[in-house]
Structures are given as structure tokens and as C-alpha cells.
Amino acid sequence: MISFLLCLAILIAAYFTYGKLVDQTLGPDDRETPAVEINDGVDYVVMPQWKLFLIQLLNIAGLGPIFGAMQGALWGPVVFLWVTFGTMLAGGVHDYFSGMLSERNRGASISEVTGIYLGGGMKNVMRVFSVVLLVMVGTVFAVGPAGLIVQLVKEKGASGILAQTTFWLAIVLAYYFIATFISIDKIIGKIYPVFGICLIIMAIGVAIGIFTGGHQIPEIWSHFYNMHPKATPIWSFMFITVACGAISGFHATQSPLMARCLKSERQGHFVFYGAMVAEGIIALIWAAAGCSLYEVTGGLNTGLAAVLAHGQSAAIYDVCIKTMGPVGVVLAMLGVVACPITSGDTAFRSARLTLSDWFGVSQEKYKNRLMLCVPLLGVGAILGFGNTFGVINYTVIWRYFSWTNQTLAMIVLWAAAMYLAKEKKNFWICALPATFMSAVSITYFVMAPECLGLIPALKQNTMVAYPAGIIVAVIFFAIFLRAARKEQSRA
């Protein structure tokens, strides 16, 4: 319990200390923001700071800090350290710079931002990479909630079309089309703050339930070992599994949405770094729930593994019921249905904006937005209905999301470090977490079953993967350091 409270205190303090240092490193000023300068009434719309914070939180969170933290709890309370220091030193930095560099480049999508600082080749790679990733995210967060709604209505005795996944998938996709097409302040600006507050209330309710229910959160110092029932290595599987709630490349695709709505650069600290700290706190609470509510057998989190085996949504229901009773059921239903949908629609919206930046298509006119919305949602519909009817199975492809997500975070951090080097500012604040995430991504890529770990000799082979990750990370750092010194030596 003490170690959990210490981590919670560090996270809160990080916003006022390290977060302030990050903000001062960039140096916000009184320049005119894209929302004020462009103000097209569609994507560039000035909104209040409190709304921007809650929308950003929901955009980057959804159920990520819940699902990821519950899975991370399988390794035991050591996950508290990753959530805490990952958020403070990496995730908050990543989200802040992905948002503020977009803001300083007329609200550009993250693919364009990385291209500015890492070159045209990286820009083209990131364009394709981002659009594919966003369409995949949007589709998964359409199919998943549709299936959950069907389960709920069947439990209530409904039948016929209301009990058909295809019907609810069509409804979700229709909503996605509307939310992607119209002005950001019409639906997202009005509904998201409400759901953001619900996400926070759900986490607070879980935290209160843990303490009032007499559950004991294990201490890090007495459980500083791998508690995973399958003995899955902590490095780097835990760092890949717990993305939202520590650091996630997906956030970099979402931050530009709010970068186009800032009234002042001085709002960036609260909106970007602050939202990441809030997500870290949510993840810390859910990780504590995973570590404290379930039976530990032989020092392993077997009870949690058994619950997660029934599906992540089932695990959320179980935690909410155990900590909040009947109220928890309502919040859980809202969480497992609404939160994925709110991540899905902004994924498609980000994909539209990425394509508009790529091809230079202004989004003020309806026909231009239709030109991009129709094919994007069309692909999402093909993938979604194809998966529902068993024609397309993208679950195998989705397995690569975890690795590609953290690789995206790595690239964005390197881009931010290069920006700071060009500006002759303290680039270490980005270069060090970029190096760390490079080691994480490469190590995972070498030994994960869905990557090079497909080769039997490499599957979870730490003797090969650990040195490979370290060597490649050092090479990346050396390449960056050479480029940074060249930039800083220029007059």
C-alpha cells in the first residue's frame, strides 16, 4: 500500500516539477496559435482549456490505461514503477512534444512533424504507417463495442436484429462517419468531456473500493520479482504491454487534434503533459486493483490470469463489481462500450487529417471531407464486416500493434530530440527516453512470438534479444548525437 501511495504522489508531483521543466525547455510564448490564425470552423476551433484537457484524456486513454494496466499487473507491483516513471520521463514528454510541435507547425499531423525534423523518407514512412495504424485502431474499436452491445442486449432477453453484431457495427460506423466529418466542437467537444469525467470517476471509485474493501496492495520491495504465471520476461514485454498509462505512440496521432484547438501555447503543459499524468494515475489505480483483488499462488498472479482469460471486458466488470457494487456495473458498461468508441472515432478523424496533410486537401469544404471520409470509413467497414462474417481475420495483424505502437513513440521522441537540437535547447530530455524506447522496441521485436520470435531459436531468447536491443539503441543514440552536434555547431 505504501509503495502505491508513493508512486501516486510522485506522479502528481511530476506534473508540477518535471512537467514544468519540459514546458520550460520548449518555451511557450504568445505567438498566434493555429486555432486563432486558421480557425476554419471544422478542425481548427478554439475551445476552453478544461474541455481540451478532458478531450485529450479520452482521446489518448479510452480503455488503454485499464486494459494495459490489468495485463501489466500480471508481472506484479513492479508495474507501478513503469507506470510512474514511464509517465513522468517518457509518456508525458512524448505527448507534450507531439502536441506542441504540431502546434508550432500549423497543427500538422504527426507524420508531417516527424518529416520536418527527421527527413522526407521518414515522413513518407510515417504517413503510411499512421494511416494504416489509425484505420486498424478505428476498426477494432468498432467491432469490439458492437460485440459487447450484442452480449448486453441478449442478457436482457432481446432477439432479432437487435441481437445482431452487424446491426450494431453499422450503427457504430455510421456514428464514426458523422464524428469524423463534422466540426470537432459539435460532437467531440460536447460529449467527450462528459465521458472523460466518467473515466476519472470510474478510477476514483475503484481506488476507494480497494481501500474501503480491506484489500491489500502488495509492496514493490517485498514483491520485486516476476510474478507472471507464464514467466514472460519483464524486459521488454511489460514495457510493450503497458503502453497507455506509461507511453504510447498512438497518443502522438491524437495530440495534433487538440493542437489545432489551443488558444495559447501556455495551455500545452496542462492539456498534453497533464492529460498524460491523469492517464498514468488511472493506470496506476487499475494496476493496483489487478495486484490486490485476486489470489496469488506460489508468488504468481494466477487469480488475475484466470479472470483475464475470460476477456478484458469481463475483467473490468469483475473489478468494478468487487470495488463499487451495483454502481460499478453501470460504470463498467459505460466504460467497455463508450470508451472504445470514443477512441475509434478520433482514430478515423486523425486518419482523415493525416491524409489531408499528405495530399494538401483543405478540409473546409464538405466535398473535400467526403473525399477522404468515404474511403476511410469504407475500408473500416470492409475490415469490420469481413471480420464479423469470418471472411477477413485481422487478429494476427493486430498482434503487431503493440510493437508498432511503441516504435511510433520511439520515432516521435527522436523527432522531438532533433527539434531541440536544432533550437540549441536541452535535447537530453527527449533523447534519453528515445534511446530507452529504442532498446525496448528492438528487444521485443527480436524475441516476441509475433515478430522475429516466430523463429523457434529466438522466441523469448533473452541471450540474443537483450544485447541486440542495447546495441541498436546505442547505435541510434550515436547517430543522433552526431547529427545534433552538427546542428548545434551551426551559427
Residue 77 C-alpha from the chain's centroid: 21
Q: What does DSSP assign to residue 44?
A: -
Whole-angstrom distance, CA of residue 273 vs CA of residue 91: 8
Tens digit of each residue's pLDDT (9 = 90 or more) over 77-121 = 999 999 999 999 999 999 999 999 999 999 999 999 999 999 999
Nearest CA to 7 among 410, 312, 291? Answer: 291
Question: Which residues, given as ranges, of the chain have pLDDT below 50?
Answer: 491
Whole-angstrom distance, CA of residue 84 vs CA of residue 87: 5
CA angle 243, 249, 253 (to 5 degrees): 135
Domain residue limits, the chain:
2-399
CA distances from 74 to 78, 91, 133, 292, 458 (A): 10, 21, 27, 11, 23
Q: Tally Cβ neighbours within 10 Å of residue 234.
A: 17
pTM assigned to the model: 0.94
State which fold the 2-399 domain adopts: Amino acid/polyamine transporter I (1.20.1740)
Question: Which pLDDT score, from 0 to 100, does residue 327 have?
Answer: 82
Q: State the chain's mean pLDDT as an integer.
A: 92
Whole-angstrom distance, CA of residue 227 vs CA of residue 182: 47
Residue 393 C-alpha from the chain's centroid: 23
For cell 555547431, what's the residue?
489
